[in-house]
Structure 1
């Protein structure tokens, strides 16, 4: 069987998931990957056969999306050209992890596909949303990468087609420890947005992962790290808690390890607001705006006695069998 797998590279989570799935997919056949977008900062150890600039995210300085930069960097003619050139008819199955180019290619070439991933879970209205729904956000979730069949991944089974998160083997097999440091991964924040708050908490050691850090170094109570999967896994496995965005994979892994979480969803990022709503239902503290008192927010979070739910890991062989059965039925 020949498998086409489309990865949306607007973040590292999609790539991390595909990397974990790859050896399991190989048991079903040969796999060619298509990478769309250029936000990811992880090294990619996958057979990427096709690429497209697609649509990428751009951030404001301290925790928000820059929609003007997003729109002005979209090249509709090139996206159409890339979609038209994808040889989807050469494949037995097309798996799409929320990529608009592949979705367009399927429509143009009249090819069947299945949307597989976190965003697919939002097809269900049972999946948590924020109190104030965004009309534009709902339209993007519905129309950005539509597929006739959907298999979702989320924190809980909100609907019949939603499965537990794909959690990396390194996390599942880990023996977590508490070495007291706080891991920080907030790709929409630049260094000077949070550095003062962290420095005020001199008795707390922070491991801060930043895209523009070329090598590991320490200043005062902060150790700065490049975004590196091995280093991040090690920090997460051994941390006391993690401060992260409103993404999906990182909170799921932290919950699986039994770590404390403080979530700061990216401002004006509707999917992250939806994830924050789900995390809030589970009792996890959410910060929507980072102000001058952020050091006090961190202190109160660390002092709080919150019972965090244990996150189940996906049974990957079982889920992939369901995926292939769903595709062919």
Structure 2
């Protein structure tokens, strides 16, 4: 069996999931990956056979999306050309993790596909949303990368086609400890947006994972790390808590490890607002705007009791078997 797997690289979570799934997918057949977008900063140890600039995210300085930069970097003619050039008819199965080019290619070439990933869960109206829905955000979630069939991943089984998150082996097999540091992963924030708040808490140690950092180094109470899977896994497994965005994979791993979480969803990012709504229902504190009192918010968060629901790791062989059975059903 030949398998085409499309990864949307607007963040590291899609790539991390694909890396974990790859050895399991190989048991079903030969796998070729297509990577679309250029926001990811992880090393991609996968057989990437096709690439496209696709649609990438651009951020404002301190925690928001820059829609103007996103729009001006989209190249419709190139996207259409890339979609036409993908040889999808030579594959037995097309798996799409929320990539619009693959979805367009399937439509143009009349090829069947299945959407598999977190965004697929939003096809269900039962998946948590913020109190105020965003019409454009809903349209993007449902129509950006449509497939005739969907298998979603989320924190809880909100609908019958939604399964638990894919947890990396390094996290699933870990023996978590509390070594007292706070792990920080907020790719939409630049360094000077948060540094002073962290420095105002000299009794706390922060492990801050930042794009642009080349080597691990410590200044005052902050250890700066490059975005590196091995470093990050170790930091998360041994942290007291994590400050992160409103993504899916990192909060899922933190919940699995029973770590304290402080979530700051990216402003104007509707999917992250939806994830924040789900996390809030689970008892995770959410910060929508970082202001001058952020150090006090961190202190209050660490001092507050934590009682999150236990989440399960995905049974990957079982879920993939269901995926392939569903594909041919």
> TM-score normalized by structure 2?
1.00
Secondary structure of 1:15's aligned partner: helix
**Residue 46 (structure 1) aligns with:** 46
Secondary structure of 2:306's aligned partner: coil
1:273 is aligned to 2:273: yes
**Residue 83 (structure 2) aligns with:** 83
1:143 is aligned to 2:122: no
**Residue 287 (structure 1) aligns with:** 287
Q: C-alpha distance in 1, partners of 2:143/2:254?
A: 31
Q: C-alpha distance in 2, partners of 1:305/1:106?
A: 49
**Residue 252 (structure 1) aligns with:** 252
**Residue 180 (structure 1) aligns with:** 180
Q: C-alpha distance in 2, partners of 1:311/1:265?
A: 21
Secondary structure of 1:150's aligned partner: strand
**1:164-201: CA deviations, max 9, x gaps?**
00000000000000000000000000000000000000
**Residue 163 (structure 1) aligns with:** 163
1:82-161 aligned within 5 A: 82-161=82-161
1:322 is aligned to 2:325: no
Residue 234 of structure 1 deviates from its aligned partner by: 0.3
**1:143-166: CA deviations, max 9, x gaps?**
100000000000000000000000
Q: C-alpha distance in 2, partners of 1:103/1:156?
A: 26
Q: C-alpha distance in 2, partners of 1:232/1:311?
A: 20
> TM-score normalized by structure 1?
1.00
Secondary structure of 2:64's aligned partner: coil
Q: C-alpha distance in 2, partners of 1:221/1:195?
A: 10
Secondary structure of 2:57's aligned partner: coil
Secondary structure of 2:32's aligned partner: strand
Question: Where in structure 2 are there 5+ consecutive unaligned residues?
Answer: none
Q: C-alpha distance in 2, partners of 1:126/1:115?
A: 18
**Residue 18 (structure 1) aligns with:** 18
**Residue 36 (structure 2) aligns with:** 36
Residue 310 of structure 1 deviates from its aligned partner by: 1.7
**1:242-289: CA deviations, max 9, x gaps?**
000000000000011110000000000000000000000001000000
Q: C-alpha distance in 2, partners of 1:132/1:208?
A: 32
Secondary structure of 2:283's aligned partner: coil
Q: C-alpha distance in 2, partners of 1:180/1:310?
A: 22
Secondary structure of 2:166's aligned partner: coil
Q: C-alpha distance in 1, partners of 2:302/2:312?
A: 24
Secondary structure of 1:7's aligned partner: strand
Secondary structure of 1:77's aligned partner: helix
**Residue 231 (structure 2) aligns with:** 231
Residue 309 of structure 1 deviates from its aligned partner by: 1.7
Q: C-alpha distance in 1, partners of 2:254/2:284?
A: 12
**Residue 219 (structure 1) aligns with:** 219
Q: C-alpha distance in 2, partners of 1:311/1:163?
A: 11
Q: C-alpha distance in 2, partners of 1:221/1:311?
A: 32
Q: C-alpha distance in 2, partners of 1:107/1:131?
A: 34
Residue 24 of structure 1 deviates from its aligned partner by: 0.1
| TM-align CA RMSD | 0.3
Deviating 4+ runs (over 3 angstroms)? none
